[in-house]
Chain A
Amino acid sequence: MFRYVFRRLISAVPTLLIIVTIAFFMMRVAPGGPFDQERNLPPEIEANVLKAYGLDKPLVEQYLDYVGGLLRGDFGPSFEFRDFTVRDLIFGGFPASLQIGSMALLLAIVFGVGFGAFAALRQNSRADYAVMTLAMTGIAIPNFVMAPVLTLVLGVYLSLLPVAGWGDGAWVNKILPVVALALPQVAYISRLTRGSMVEVLNSNYIRTARAKGLRESIVVNRHALKGALLPVVSYLGPAAAAVVTGSVVIETIFEVPGIGRYFVLGALNRDYPLVMGTVIFYAMLIIALNLVVDLIYAWLDPKVRLE
């Protein structure tokens, strides 16, 4: 187990290096620099500005500087938020993003598995069709449509919840972003759970369990559900990635002070170090999440050999 984790961590290094390298050189071959707006600067001052940010050095040296900085946890200064380093912004935004994201993922797992199992146990009944139609709707309607619609109904028409804003992390302000972020994943997971649950319920070992005279609740909860969860667990990696991606849009809509919002602001303002730093941070996050998911999977399914 330990060796497997170690090997996976090692193999993540080249992937990250590729990401960093692509991102860095894409940034440098791009036309137009970040200081183009201030083009009335006298040449001496412009040279000083470039020097302050290390932009006057040869490209290779800049690249090595950047990678060296990353190793020390230094993502460089933000061009747009002048008083902050990219690191400050990322770590400042992480708690809010983490809360929203993990709550959404948890919600998606609980409700997705619940609905999926519910539908599978009533296969081809009206309840089954109703749940699956809802799930289809959840997939077809993207979260950036769902979020404003939820706001319109719950926030504006019914005035039950605040429309936007973070309110210093009050829980009422978190409901809408979390729900909007979770809904598409609830839909995916319930479809997935239903499919695999139906398959499992028809398998031999479930028949055996029933033949032994076990109570239905034990058959379902202990035997069927465990087998049916494997595809769901392997979907958690992509689900986590989708939640991370979705958080960018959700944080923008609901004005959540998270990383996603800084990413969008950075992208709109051509704040290269901020955008790159966030991309690298997200990549690390996704790689780490995938590792965790693989470990859970191996723990659940003894057939998967890790060594």
Chain B
Amino acid sequence: MIGVPGTGDALAGAAEIEGRSLWQDALARLLRNRAAVVSMIVLGIVGTLAILAPLLSPHPFDEIYWDRIQAPPDFANAHWFGTDGNGRDMFVRTLYGARISLMVGLLATGVSLLIGVSWGATAGYFGGRVDNFMMRFVDIMYSLPFMFFVILLMVMFGRHIWLIFIALGAVEWLTMARIVRGQTLSIRRREFIEAAHASGIGSFKIIFRHVIPNVLGPVIVYMTLTVPQVILTESFLSFLGLGVQEPLTSWGVLISEGARVIETAPWMLVFPATFLAVTLFCFNFLGDGLRDALDPKDR
């Protein structure tokens, strides 16, 4: 791995004494990227807030305060973000929304990772007719208005949270499959694959033990960029009333409730919208940073 001019100076001395792996190198580059580091910290904070949500506020997320309906932010009653149209505390609801949104983002990305990586690696490894057929399928899927299919699924099978994970994961794997296939194609003729083949290891094992670990770099980068995409899609669905259902909530649901009373209760919109935008921002910056760190020639 050749360092980028100007970035290797600080570590140049150390490099001669002990070798650095690709990953250490990438980590060092990532930590030097200020936007990416700040993004990681902010995401860490949002994540911690989401996990600790019930401990941070005296109010349960579904408790209705009949005397404080749509109340503006007020510190006396510990409604830091105000209350919503049903008199529920917005601070706690925003954090519970964070839980759902982040969980959907991570789990659906996991599903897409599972499908996309296996699909792409298999197609790329076997090549030829298998590859042709598998990628043709991806092309067709690409040309479908997938968002509408997710909505169709939601309409028909009810808006269950697990269905959201699976549906979003099932439509977000296409780009991942393409990336992994391209990477696999470029390494499948390399000597270590040939060696594995010669020593009698089966194709399935070669794909999972030798091919996939070697394409992880781009996969991680794209994964980081898929998470905000999924969060966005889930919010989109929830905004339309087709996603997460009461009493659970997500940022999309909160934003949609807030948008309806924008004139009288702007705080109902501002807080969840800020959380969503900041989270998306950070994931995008982190993804860009990771790309620069793992693939310096791409700059």
Contact = CB atoms under 8 A, between A and B. Distances in A.
A252 interface: yes
A151 B143 contact: no
Contacts of A286: 143, 145
Interface stretch (B189-197, B204-212, B237-245): B237-245
B236 A249 contact: yes
Interface centre among A27, A152, A249, A267 (most CB of B within 10 A): A267
Nearest to B251: A145
Interface residues of A, number: 48
Interface string A244-262: 1100110011000000000
A140 B255 contact: no
Contacts of B157: 30-31
Given A148-B273, A279-B149, A283-B144, A139 B284 contact: yes
The B interface is mostly helix, strand or loop, or mixed, namely: helix
A148 B155 contact: no
> By DSSP majority rule, is chain A's interface helix, strand, loop, or mixed?
helix
Contacts of B3: none
Contacts of B273: 145, 148-149
A142 interface: yes
A263 B242 CA distance: 12
B155 A267 contact: yes
Given A139-B284, A149-B273, A152-B266, A245 B259 contact: no
Given A152-B262, A248-B240, 16 more contacts: A15-B144, A23-B149, A26-B152, A30-B157, A136-B284, A140-B280, A147-B259, A148-B258, A148-B259, A249-B236, A276-B152, A279-B145, A279-B148, A279-B152, A287-B143, A290-B143
12 contacts: A27-B152, A30-B155, A31-B157, A142-B236, A142-B277, A145-B255, A267-B240, A267-B242, A268-B241, A268-B242, A275-B155, A283-B145
Interface of A: 15, 18-19, 22-23, 26-27, 29-32, 136-137, 139-142, 144-145, 147-149, 151-152, 156, 163, 241, 244-245, 248-249, 252-253, 263-264, 267-268, 270, 272, 275-276, 278-279, 282-283, 286-287, 290
